[in-house]
C-alpha cells in the first residue's frame, strides 16, 4: 500500500449539537433594563447640567448687583491735605 492511502481512518466527524433557542423574554427584559439605566443616567446628567447653568446665571446676576468700590486716584482729595 502507498503512504497516501489511509482507509479513511483519519477523518473526524463532528456533529452539531442542537441548542435551545434563546429566551427572548429574558433578553428583552435585560435590554429594557439597560435602556432604563441609560435613560436615568442621561436624565441625571441633564439635571446636573441644568443646576450648574442656573448657578452660573445666579453668580453673574450677583456680580452685576454688587456695588462697585471706587478706586483711589493719585489726584484724590486725600493727597491735597498733605500739600498744604
Q: Give the model's pLDDT for residue 31.
A: 97
- Do residues 72 and 78 lie in contact, with contact meaning Cβ atoms separated by under 8 Å? yes
State the total domains in the chain: 1
Tens-digit pLDDT profile for residues 3-25: 665 566 667 777 888 888 989 99
* Structural domain range at position 62: 24-66
Asked if residue 83 has pLDDT above 70, the reply is: no
Mind listing the pLDDT tens digit for each residue in 32-66?
A: 999 999 999 999 999 988 888 888 888 888 776 76
Tell me the DSSP string of 12-66: ---PPPP-PPP-HHHHHHHHHHHHHHHHHHHHHHHHHHHHHHHHHHHHHHHHHHS
Residue 77 lies in a domain: no
The pTM of this model reads: 0.44
User: Does residue 59 belong to any structural domain of this protein?
Assistant: yes
Is 56 domain-assigned? yes
Amino acid at each position: 500500500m502507498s503512504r497516501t492511502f489511509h482507509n479513511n481512518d483519519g477523518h473526524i466527524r463532528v456533529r452539531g449539537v442542537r441548542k435551545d433557542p434563546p429566551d427572548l423574554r429574558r433578553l428583552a427584559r435585560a435590554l429594557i433594563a439597560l435602556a432604563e439605566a441609560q435613560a436615568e443616567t442621561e436624565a441625571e446628567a441633564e439635571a446636573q447640567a441644568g443646576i450648574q447653568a442656573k448657578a452660573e446665571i445666579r453668580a453673574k446676576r450677583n456680580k452685576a448687583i454688587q456695588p462697585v468700590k471706587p478706586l483711589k486716584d493719585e489726584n484724590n482729595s486725600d493727597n491735597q491735605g498733605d500739600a498744604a
